[in-house]
Chains A and B, each alone.
Chain A
Amino acid sequence: MPGSLKFHQSALGKKVIMAASGIVLFGFVLVHMLGNLKLYQGAEKLNTYAEWLREMGAPLLPHNGAIWLMRVGLLVAVLVHVVSAYQVTRLSQRARPLNYKARQTLQATYASRTMRWGGVIILLFVIYHLAHLTWGSVHPAFIPGDVYSNVVAGFRVWWVSAFYVVAQMALGFHLYHGLWSMFQTLGVTAGDDRDWRRKFAVAFALLITLGNLSFPIAVLTGFVS
C-alpha cells in the first residue's frame, strides 16, 4: 500500500534523521567551541576542564565513562548523518542522470552547493583532528593529559593551522546551510518574517566558526603561548 514505507526508508525520513542528528552534532560543536574558550584562561583551567570531562558522572560512572557515552552518541549521530546524506545523494543523482549543458544557479547559496563536499572535508578533518589532539598519533609532541600544550604545540605548525582554518570555514558553511535546512526539513515555517531562519543560521554558524578560528590564530600570532 502506498504510504506504508517506514520512516527511515523514505528520503524525507532520512532528511529528518539528518536534521535530528545534525542538531546533536550542532550541540556538540557549540559546546566544544565554548569549552575550548578556556584556552584563553590558561593551561590550568583548560586542562582541569579536560580532566573534568573525563571524571564527569563520578562516582556513579567510572573514569572516562560519561565521555565515552557521549562519544558513542556522537559516533552514532555522525554515522546516521553520513549514511543518510549518502543515500539521499544517490537518490538525487539517479533522478538527474544527464545534466544540462549549462544550468544557471538562481538563488542556491554557496553553502548549499558545497554541502556534500564540505561534509566530506569535515569528516576527514574530524578523523585528523582526533588523531591529532585526542589520540596524538599524528602529533609530534603529544603529552597525554596536557591539552593546553598539545593545542599550542600543534597549532604552531603553520600548515596544521591552515588545515584547521580551511576545515572551520567548511564547517561554517555546512552549519549555515544545515541549520537553515533543519528548520525547513522539520517544518518550522518562517511565517511573516521570512528571514529569521536565515538570521539564526548565520548567527550560530558565525559564532562557532569565529570561535574555532580564533584558536589557531591566537596561537600563531602568539596571543596564546
Chain B
Amino acid sequence: MRLTLQIWRQKNADDTGGFSSYDVDASPDMSFLEMLDVLNETLTEAGEDPVAFEHDCREGICGSCCLMIDGRAHGPEPGTATCQLHMRKFEDGDTIRIEPWRSAAFPVLKDLVVDRVGLDRIVQAGGFISINTGSAPDANLIPVPRDKAELAMDAAACIGCGACVAQCPNGAAQLFAAAKVSHLALLPQGQPERDQRVLRMVEEMESAFGSCTNFAECEVACPKEISIEFIARMNRDYVSARLRRG
C-alpha cells in the first residue's frame, strides 16, 4: 500500500517546526512504527535526517510511543497504543497526518519526541506508598476484597503514555493522576497516606497541566481504556481530604 505521510518536523525545542510530506510503501501486516522504520531507512539512504519518534517495547506496555495520528492519540484503533497499531487499519492511498503530543507540559524535543517528565513529577508528589524495604508484613496479613483488587488493577493498568493529556482539549492530566490515586486509594495499604497523597498529586498536576472539564476524551484515547470513573473517585478523595484537612 502506498501512503502519504504528513509528519511534524522540528529540529529541537527552540525550532518552530512544520509539516513535511513523505511517500512510503507499506505492507498491511506492518505495525505503524515498522512503517516509520521503513521511512527512516529510506530517508537515511537518501541522506536525509530520519524522523525522531519515541518507541521501546513495541508491545503496548512501556508507554514510550506517543504519536498523534490524524488528530487522534495512538491512531484510529481503540484500546491500542501506537506500537500495536497495524497498517491494515489504513487504506491504500491514505494521507496520514502525524503530530507530536501537544501540551505546554510536554515540550517537543525533536520531531515527534516530547518531554513527559511532568507525569513523573505527579507520581513523585505522592503516587506511592511509603514503605521502606524490608519492613513489610506478610503479604497475606491484610486481605483485600477481590473486587477492590480488580478495580485497583484496572486503574493500575495505566502505561503513562500521556495520551489522555494529548487528546484532552484542556491538556489536563486528570486521567493519569486519577488512575494512580485510585489504584492506591482502593487498597488497604494505601489508606494511611490517602489524604496527603491526593492533595499533593493534584497540586502538582495542576501546576503543569490544564483543568478537566469532563469532555471524557481521555477515556477513549487511553490505550488501556481506563475509565473516567477514576477521575470522579479522585475528585471525591480530594474534596474529602480537603474537608478533613482544611
A–B contact, 8 Å CB criterion (strictly below): yes
Interface residues of A (CB under 8 A from B): 2-5, 7, 10-16, 88-89, 91-108, 112-113, 115, 177, 180-181, 183-190, 194
Option from B102, B199, B215, B235 in Cβ contact (under 8 Å) with A185: B235
Q: Which residues of B contact A113 (CB under 8 A)?
A: 169, 215
What are the residues of chain A within 8 A of B219 when measuring CB–CB? 107
B24 interface residue per 8 A CB criterion: no
Given A91-B206, A96-B171, A100-B99; A181-B214 close (CB under 8 Å): yes
**Does B70 count as interface, using CB distance less than 8 angstroms?**
yes
B105 CB-CB contact with A under 8 Å: yes
CB atoms of B211 and A11 under 8 A apart: yes
25 contacts between A and B (CB under 8 A): A2-B199, A2-B203, A3-B126, A3-B196, A3-B203, A4-B199, A16-B235, A16-B239, A93-B210, A94-B104, A95-B104, A95-B105, A100-B102, A103-B68, A103-B71, A104-B70, A108-B217, A112-B213, A115-B213, A180-B214, A184-B231, A186-B239, A187-B233, A188-B236, A189-B236
Q: Would you call B232 and A187 a contact (CB within 8 A)?
A: yes
Chain A neighbourhood of B215, CB < 8 A: 108, 112-113
Which residue of chain B has the shortest Cβ distance to A97 in the bound complex?
Answer: B104
> Given A14-B211, A104-B70, A184-B214, 11 more contacts at CB 8 Å?
A2-B126, A2-B204, A4-B203, A93-B210, A94-B104, A96-B104, A103-B68, A104-B71, A112-B215, A181-B213, A185-B235
Say whether A88 contacts B70, CB under 8 Å.
no
Closest Cβ of chain A to B80, distance in Å, is 14
Find the A residue at minimum CB distance from B108.
Answer: A98
A105 touches B235 (CB 8 A): no
Task: Point out the residues of chain B lying under 8 angstroms from A105, CB to CB.
Answer: 217
Tell me how far the C-beta of A202 lies from the nearest C-beta in chain B, rounded to whole angstroms. Answer: 15
CA A103 to CA B23, docked complex, whole Å: 22
- What are the residues of chain B within 8 A of A189 when measuring CB–CB? 229, 232-233, 236
Say yes or no: B210 contacts A91, CB within 8 Å. yes
Flag if A11 contacts B206 (CB, 8 Å).
yes
A98 CA to B219 CA, complexed, in Å: 22
Separation of A98 and B229 alpha carbons in the complex (Å): 29
Contact at B167–A106, with CB atoms within 8 Å? yes
Point out the residues of chain B lying under 8 angstroms from A183, CB to CB: 232
Given the known inter-chain contacts A92-B172, A108-B216, A183-B232, please indicate yes or no for A3 contacting B199, CB distance below 8 A: yes
Within the assembled complex, what's the spacing in Å between the Cα atoms of A177 and B172? 18
User: Are B171 and A95 touching (Cβ within 8 A)?
Assistant: yes
Closest CB pairs A-B (n = 9): A187-B236, A95-B210, A95-B171, A92-B170, A3-B199, A92-B210, A3-B200, A106-B220, A108-B215
Query: Which among B70, B199, B232 is the interface contact of A184 at CB below 8 angstroms?
Result: B232
Nearest chain A CB to B210 CB, angstrom units: 3
Contact A187 B237 (CB under 8 A): yes
- A188 and B232 contacting across the interface, CB-CB below 8 Å: yes
- Point out the residues of chain A lying under 8 angstroms from B32, CB to CB: none
